[in-house]
Amino acid sequence: MRAVRLVALIGLVALALAFPGLVNAYWLTVAILAIFYAIIAASWTLLVGYAGQFSFGHMAFVSLGAYASALLVQWLGIPIPLGMAAGAVLAMVVGAGVGFICLRIRGPYLAIFTLAFSEVLRIVFLTENEVTGGASGLNVAPLFTTRSDAPYYYVALGLLVVSLAVMAAMVHSRWGLFFRAIRENEQAAAAAGVKVVRFRILVFAVASGFAGLAGAFYGPFIGILTPDIGSVDQMGLVVAMAVIGGSESLVAAVIGALSVEALVEILRAYGQWRLVLFGLLLLLTMRFARNGLLTLGWAQVARLTPARWRATPAQGAAE
């Protein structure tokens, strides 16, 4: 199986690097938006899939990072990359605050609270016309002045790789064990010595920071920000991406986001029926593959892999 994974990884890296030269401008834009959603889906998976803190307000931090970055660049004249970093940091700080407020809230009450927070923030962005532009939108300076979107693609790809690397390092460390312990049973985790309060705030802050980073990139790429970026519809799309891919794996959530965004575009010719087909796919996933379609697909690949490619337990221990 290691040989299969290595070949798949090399193929994916080669495809990712060569992608701008293989597609037209339209599909390159779709790919950049898919990567944008992939960062958000992965950060939501860190919060929900690993730590068990179900949030419906994740897109609020995307919009917060986006607006904060754009306004700081406009008001202070700072470089756009610095504004993006500032937007991510602000989202992280606010996420830590929300995590602290939600310490005693669990289950559906946590989801309702975060949804209310998201809607309040969206309404603020909508009504503060003089600052945010309201429904008309806030114009954002572009990160690049080239006519091609290829530079945006490679920046988005780099942000995705860095985000995944940081989050993967977290979930494979002791912190990841603490996150999963909190997800399974907070009381038992606390009795075992896990600092539940500290790690609940930490996971909210980190997940919110990466969501804010995605939003800070989105503004310069699209060129305009509207409050709809933090809408419930957008949140539902992110949840569907993570669930279809697999909400207990960062990589699965990323692949789910990329696949769903591509599927939505492919089915665009069917008009509103594409939403019906998309909903049907989500229902089938929840019914027959609750760990996500990627997990189900990988299990089939493992079953069909020739026995000589599989490492025996003794070989695995020796390696």
pLDDT string in tens for the chain (319-residue length): 566 677 777 888 888 889 888 899 999 999 999 999 999 999 999 998 898 888 899 999 999 999 999 999 999 999 999 999 999 999 999 999 998 988 777 778 888 899 999 999 999 999 988 899 998 999 999 999 888 899 999 999 999 999 999 999 999 999 999 999 988 888 888 888 888 889 999 999 999 999 999 999 999 999 999 999 998 889 988 988 888 888 788 988 998 899 888 888 888 877 777 777 777 777 777 666 556 666 655 555 555 555 554 444 334 433 3
> What are the beta bridge partners of residue 196?
none
What is the model's pLDDT at position 83? 95
Tell me if 267 is assigned to some domain: no
Contacts of 51 (CB under 8 A, 6+ apart): 179, 180, 182, 183, 199, 200, 203
pLDDT of 4 reads 66
Q: Which helix (H) or strand (E) element contains residue 225? A: strand 224-225
Find out whether 180 and 50 touch, Cβ atoms under 8 Å.
yes
Is residue 78 in a domain?
A: yes
101 inside domain: yes
Number of domains in the chain: 1
What 3-state class would DSSP assign to 141? coil
What is the model's pLDDT at position 311? 47
282 occurs within a structural domain: no
Q: Is 276 a domain residue?
A: no
Helix residue ranges, H only, the chain: 2-18, 25-45, 58-76, 80-101, 107-127, 129-132, 150-171, 174-184, 186-191, 196-222, 232-245, 250-266, 273-288, 293-304, 313-318
* Contact indicator for 242, 256 with CB cutoff of 8 Å: yes
Q: Is residue 107 part of a domain?
A: yes
The span from the CA of 31 to the CA of 20, in Å, is 9
Tell me what pLDDT residue 303 has. Answer: 54
Q: Which residue has the tokens 């696949």?
A: 259
Question: Is residue 116 situated within a structural domain?
Answer: yes
pLDDT at 152: 95
Question: Which residues touch 2 (CB under 8 Å, ≥6 apart)?
Answer: 311
230 CB-contact burial (10 Å; exposed 0-12 / middle 13-18 / buried 19+): buried
**For residue 314, what pLDDT is reported?**
35
> 224: which 2 tokens?
């305009």
| pLDDT of res. 316 | 41
Q: Residue 255 is encoded by which pair of tokens?
A: 């692949």
Residue-level pLDDT at 289: 58
Q: Which residues of 269-294 are buried (b: 16+ CB within 10 A; e: fewer)?
A: eeeeebeeebeebbeebeeebebbbb
Domain that holds residue 161: 23-231
Would you say residue 252 lies in a domain?
Answer: no
